[in-house]
């Protein structure tokens, strides 16, 4: 949802700014998102140290994710109003600052609350969730405004490519920064420092846009779509198949990433460095694959089929890892391909199912459900592990949690199959076509 002033200013930024300025804005936003992603993912490599030195249980590790998810759920309902009123420049600085403060609290929270170190870190993760989710909304809006009518698809792919390198570097941090992994706090202080660069590059972006607007004599604010509660029960069935896939997919992949270091070291007996390297395959393959798959579906269509293929790839790893001696690299490669293929097709497909006037509500509701599922499964893995006494001494204790992820991955495939079946019927949205018409079946809405 964009104001009249925004609709005038947004194309002006794309059409009147020099290529150097546009790409500089993209670079600043992307580097800020690199810091954002690193701060979030830096926790996982440190989890074995948190358990060893501070006595964190698996349930407490899961609740660290849940605290972030709860913050995200709150921001999805209330945050759009703030971005509307503040604009992307001010809100980017504000939310990057909040996120950076959260990164610092994660690193120092246990020391501030020595009697409840897990609670201290949960507070930091909550603050991070408030800043991170709203900053990503603002940064995505920025790229849309600056590249509308230009190289928008490539620019967004490049932004995500740089951002996910933050996840990749975080996964590799035990390898690249071995000297820091002698205690739990040093790796998280490094993440807090990169949270500082997140804030710095948000300020750089705001200054660059300020220069452009002063040259134009324009004052612009970019509004974002907000959740419209009255519309939430009026979406077509195909939309709910996509939502079901979204929830099942992300509630499988993200909690697994949180616990992957513990699982790989305890259940498979590999080193922490090797576990981090294996886990880094997911963002690495995703960074390379997402733009490729995006270009492919734009060329050939087959969107619902591609989602079914991607969700099917998610199932075998959770059966191969606990029950076979197939190299772990095979499972991580399949997870990485799924992590590239499904997101590249899932999010754009919503634009063909839901009318443009209700697209903001559709994305808000889908993300809300995604975060809710993610929060519940992260806690569930920890609770199952604690109940089964999962540990290096009892690697079979991981079987209930991995079995739950396998079942969830199967549910995701079922939703994708139902969507593919609907697209082959008389009432469909043209997802299998290279150039579908948006909301091709209005009677379904």
Residue whose structure tokens are 């006494």:
389
* Range 146-172 average pLDDT: 75
Do 42 and 104 fall within a single domain? yes
Between 345 and 334, residue with greater pLDDT: 334
User: Which of 173, 199, 226 is a domain's end point?
Assistant: 226
* Range 389-408 average pLDDT: 93
pLDDT, tens digit (0-9, with 9 covering 90-100), for 29-65: 999 999 999 999 898 888 888 888 888 888 888 888 8
Q: Residue 6 pLDDT > 50, yes or no?
A: no
The pLDDT of residue 410: 97
Q: Look up the domain containing 43 and give its range.
A: 1-226
The pLDDT of residue 83: 64
User: Which of 226, 255, 288 is a domain's end point?
Assistant: 226
CATH number of residue 3's parent domain: 1.20.1250.20
* Range 68-97 average pLDDT: 79
Q: Residue 7 pLDDT > 80, yes or no?
A: no
Between 160 and 421, residue with greater pLDDT: 421
Contact call for residues 173 and 276 (beta carbons, < 8 A): yes
Answer positive or negative: Cα dihedral of 436, 411, 74, 227: positive
Q: Which of 16-20, 253-257, 289-293, 315-319 has the lowest mean pLDDT?
A: 16-20
Confidence of residue 9 (pLDDT cuts 50, 70, 90): very low
Do 254 and 389 fall within a single domain? yes
* Range 378-384 average pLDDT: 89
Confidence of residue 14 (pLDDT cuts 50, 70, 90): low
The pLDDT of residue 197: 93
C-alpha–C-alpha distance, residues 209 and 205, integer Å: 6
Do 207 and 106 fall within a single domain? yes
What percentage of the chain has pLDDT greater than the value 90?
Answer: 36
Q: Residue 99 pLDDT > 70, yes or no?
A: yes
Do 208 and 253 fall within a single domain? no
pLDDT, tens digit (0-9, with 9 covering 90-100), for 304-318: 999 999 999 999 999
pLDDT, tens digit (0-9, with 9 covering 90-100), for 348-367: 787 778 775 565 567 667 87
Q: Which of 124-128, 366-370, 399-403, 439-443 has the lowest mean pLDDT?
A: 439-443
Q: Residue 371 pLDDT > 90, yes or no?
A: no
CA angle 263/267/270 to nearest 5° reads 85
Q: Residue 10 pLDDT > 70, yes or no?
A: no
pTM of model > 0.75: no
Do 194 and 254 fall within a single domain? no
User: Which CA distances in Å does 63 have to 41, 74, 133, 358?
Assistant: 15, 16, 18, 33
DSSP string, 126-158: HHHHHHHHHHHHHHHHHHHHHHTTTTHHHHHHH
Between 189 and 228, residue with greater pLDDT: 189
Distance, C-alpha 206 to centroid of its chain? 23
User: Which CA distances in Å does 316 have to 232, 291, 426?
Assistant: 34, 24, 32
| Mean of per-residue pLDDT scores for the chain | 83
pLDDT, tens digit (0-9, with 9 covering 90-100), for 288-297: 888 888 778 7
User: Which of 205, 226, 247 is a domain's end point?
Assistant: 226
Do 117 and 236 fall within a single domain? no
End-to-end CA distance of the chain, in Å?
A: 20
Q: Residue 436 pLDDT > 70, yes or no?
A: no
Do 63 and 202 fall within a single domain? yes
* Range 262-274 average pLDDT: 89
Helices (H) and strands (E) in the chain, counts: 15, 0
Do 267 and 148 fall within a single domain? no
Do 418 and 325 fall within a single domain? yes
C-alpha–C-alpha distance, residues 108 and 189, integer Å: 8
Do 25 and 155 fall within a single domain? yes
Q: Which of 204-208, 242-246, 340-344 has the lowest mean pLDDT?
A: 340-344
Confidence of residue 19 (pLDDT cuts 50, 70, 90): confident
Confidence of residue 190 (pLDDT cuts 50, 70, 90): very high
Do 312 and 352 fall within a single domain? yes
User: Which CA distances in Å does 369 have to 232, 248, 313, 362, 364?
Assistant: 12, 10, 22, 11, 9
pLDDT, tens digit (0-9, with 9 covering 90-100), for 203-241: 999 999 887 777 766 554 444 445 555 555 678 899 999
- Domains contained in the chain, number: 2
Confidence of residue 8 (pLDDT cuts 50, 70, 90): very low
């Amino acid at each position: 949802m964009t104001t009249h002033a925004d609709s005038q200013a947004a194309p002006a930024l794309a059409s009147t700014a020099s290529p150097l300025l546009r790409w500089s804005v993209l670079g600043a936003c992307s580097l800020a998102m690199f810091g954002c992603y690193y701060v979030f993912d830096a926790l996982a490599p440190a989890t074995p140290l948190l358990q060893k030195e501070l006595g964190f249980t698996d349930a407490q590790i899961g609740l660290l994710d849940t605290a972030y998810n709860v913050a995200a759920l709150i921001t999805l309902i209330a945050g759009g109003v703030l971005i509307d009123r503040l604009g992307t420049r001010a809100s980017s600085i504000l939310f990057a600052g909040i996120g950076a403060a959260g990164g610092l609290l994660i690193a120092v929270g246990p020391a501030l609350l020595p009697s409840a170190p897990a609670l201290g870190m949960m507070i930091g993760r909550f603050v991070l969730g408030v800043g991170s989710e709203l900053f990503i909304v603002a940064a995505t809006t920025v790229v849309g405004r600056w590249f509308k009518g230009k190289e928008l698809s490539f620019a967004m792919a490049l932004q995500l490519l740089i951002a996910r390198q933050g996840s990749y570097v975080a996964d590799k941090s035990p390898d690249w920064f071995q000297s820091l992994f002698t205690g739990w706090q040093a790796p998280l202080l490094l993440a807090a420092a990169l949270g500082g660069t997140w804030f710095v590059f948000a300020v750089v972006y705001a200054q660059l846009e300020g220069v452009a607007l002063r040259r134009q004599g324009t004052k612009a604010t970019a509004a974002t779509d907000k959740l419209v509660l009255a519309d939430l029960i009026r979406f077509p069935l195909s939309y709910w198949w996509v939502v079901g896939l979204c929830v099942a997919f992300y509630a499988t992949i993200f909690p697994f990433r949180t616990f992957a270091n513990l699982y790989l070291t305890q259940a498979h007996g590999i080193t922490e460095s090797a576990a981090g390297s294996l886990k880094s395959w997911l963002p690495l393959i995703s960074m390379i694959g997402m733009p490729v798959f995006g270009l492919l579906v734009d060329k050939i269509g087959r969107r619902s089929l591609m989602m079914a293929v991607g969700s099917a790839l998610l199932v075998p790893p959770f059966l191969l890892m606990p029950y076979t001696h197939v190299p772990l690299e095979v499972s991580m490669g399949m997870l990485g391909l799924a992590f590239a293929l499904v997101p590249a097709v899932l999010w754009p497909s919503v634009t063909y199912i839901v009318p443009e006037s209700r697209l903001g509500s559709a994305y808000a509701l889908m993300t809300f459900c995604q975060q809710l599922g993610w929060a519940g499964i992260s806690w569930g893995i920890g609770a199952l592990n604690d109940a089964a006494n999962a540990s290096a001494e009892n690697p079979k204790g991981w079987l209930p949690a991995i079995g739950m992820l396998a079942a969830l991955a199967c549910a995701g495939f079922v939703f994708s199959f139902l969507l593919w079946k609907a697209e082959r019927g008389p009432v469909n949205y043209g997802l299998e076509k290279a150039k579908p018409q948006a909301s091709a079946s209005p009677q379904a809405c």
